[in-house]
Amino acid sequence: MPGPRTIDLNSDLGEGYGVWRLADDSALLGMITSANVACGFHAGDPTTMRKAVTAAAANGVAVGAHVSFPDRRGFGRRDMAIPPREVTDDVVYQVGALDAVARAHGTRVTFVKPHGALYNRMAVDRTLADAVVEALASLGGSLPLVTLPGSEAAIAARAAGVTAIAEAFADRAYDREGRLVSRDRPGAVISDPEEVTARAVRMATEHAVETIDGEVIKLEAQTLCVHGDSPGSVALATAIRAGLESAGFALAPFAG
């Protein structure tokens, strides 16, 4: 008989400054299978990275580089006009820094997921997407890029021979084009555990999601995200994991 279906559950970790958010991140690591660790550009620092990667490794959680625009004040959520060549350099720098910390402590970076404004703009801006993908290609091309399905980032990755991992957000609202609704709009962030769990299970089983305007759209996903900085993130991750397992899914990292 075939084994259970598998899916990955990811969250953002190490987004503190010096003093790691030990309680929340430690609890999240018991629920998720992949950790997007901040690389210092929007949050985090060397000590925080060390604590995050060692804790992830101890819990059997895959480590990914959560790369960003250089925007600590805005938590990486402000769009920035940076030349593509500099974006490529910045991504190489961030991935390299986190991987060095990870390897120094017995683990390694196995994927890359952009953060905030960089993630959202890459979905629609092919030039920016190409700049990030160029960084991954220059690092050997073996690190998968986590991004929205059907986005410019996914197209750019495939064109360069980089694996694109389709991601869906259980705790964020979508528009009819399959893009994330701006956090400025009411209802963009979903915090009710029951609702978030139902959305996650539907994403995994039906490959579909209801948009903020009530339409149902198709949405492929190999990994589901619950934001680590959201209120009640641990409760959300716990509920999502339980819901997915009840629906017959085994949770496992997409990257080894």
What's the mean per-residue pLDDT of the chain?
Answer: 91
Q: Say if residues 44 and 21 touch (Cβ distance below 8 Å).
A: no
Where do the structural domains in the chain lie, given as residue ranges? 5-251
The pLDDT, as a whole number, for residue 183 is 84
The pLDDT, as a whole number, for residue 228 is 67
**Does CATH place domain 5-251 in 3.50.50.60?**
no
Distance CA 205, CA 220 (A): 10
Residue 19 has pLDDT above 50, yes or no: no
Residue 88 has pLDDT above 60, yes or no: yes
Rg (CA), the chain: 17
Distance CA 70, CA 44 (A): 12
Residue 18 has pLDDT above 50, yes or no: no
Residue 185 has pLDDT above 80, yes or no: yes
